[in-house]
Structure 1
Amino acid sequence: MADGRSVLVTGGNRGIGLAIAKAFAAQGDKVAVTHRRAGGEPPADLPERLLAVPCDVTDAAAVDAAFGKVEAEHGPVQVLVSNAGITDDGLLMRMSEESFIRVVDANLTAAYRVAKRASRGMLKARAGRMIFVSSVVGLTGSAGQVNYAASKSGLVGLARSVARELGSRGITANVVAPGFVDTDMTRALPDARRAEILTQVPLGRYATADEIAAAVTWLGSDAAAYVTGAIIPVDGGLGMGH
């Protein structure tokens, strides 16, 4: 796949998603990112080279409209990175059904929505890359995250089914499973909890968002043309064996 491709990163306005978007843009790709800011105004600190598209990935009509805007500006999406997601942690006995459904809808059903919409252009082109950002938690489980872990685990089945269904058309579908990443969210954890987490990670440190982005951009490159249905862990060894 040549440079200057049309790339869409959902939830690409901050954190890991923004690092992924910047990495593709640095390669010369035309990159669009979705965001959910009130009024549809793009984030003020978003780099100008990124096309900001308002989109609620839990709304099929909004997803279709977002793709329409990207297609008008950059052409059909050639590389899709399904990254948008939420958490709403709580112990099983206290977790409401609404909480479970909301997280699964935002993290898993939304991935189905964007993959389905992206497949339209990819099938016509007989080429494409779909990359789903999961989590080590989807493979190992995590107390207090039944909803989140279920949604992230579900991405594996989704991606592998897409890989089998669309592989004959030159479309690959893969999963990146980050471990603990140095972000605003993890920096806000108490020092004792941060130290406890590191005892579980063989490499003894948090990942940088750029290290996650490196795995994603590789999967979107020509070098990974024969890789599909794979889970690429970027977790410092935390989830090995799963």
Structure 2
Amino acid sequence: MRILPAIDLLDGKAVRLHQGRYEEATVYDADPPAVARRLRGKIDLLHVVDLEGAKAGEPVQRDRVREIAEAFGGALQVGGGVRSRAALEGYLALGAKRVVLGTAAVKDPELVRELARAYPGVVVLAVDAKNGYVATDGWTVTSQITAVDLVRSLGDVPIGAVLYTDVARDGTGSGPNVEATGALAKSSPFPVIASGGVGTAAHLTALAALPNVESAIVGRALYDGSLTLDDAIAAATAH
């Protein structure tokens, strides 16, 4: 399992939300490209989220993402407000290797199918769950479709991975929802990226033991120093 450090963008700064609440954002670095520069050469994929874009329904922090891409010099996985072909292709033009779509999968599944077929392995399906049901629009709306059903409904197109986040755990450091992540990974035809709640090396060890979990996103724990990148990588590769 590999570690994907997260840079979540709000007002051009690197922040972390608490349980997806925008009013509870903690600013960790006012210079996100500097964060990316420190990670250069240490990891092979960096996870970047345009939080404003997620709410607006279109990319907002494109210039910041470009700066991060230049500073990092490696592959990006970018999401937040990608609800059109133009948005996806815009991120690919900035150097993104993977582009995350979440809300679009619920509101416009045919778009996701079209993009997955046009760009095999590029689309990452974000499944952000609240009590098992998929949350959309920057986690502000809860749909009536379950995480497992959403993934199954798109099982016939070449999606690169499923990014599973338990919103209640996100930004808390209290531990990922290992049971729900494992259940989704077991039923998913695609590899799963675990997200939300990672705070210790033990949390990563538990995720690494799950079949079909390819990566884990780590944010707050790396920023506040409760977990070093080296320790995170060691825990993720112990199996």
State the TM-score, normalizing by the size of structure 1. Answer: 0.37
Greater per-residue strand proportion: 2
Greater per-residue helix proportion: 1
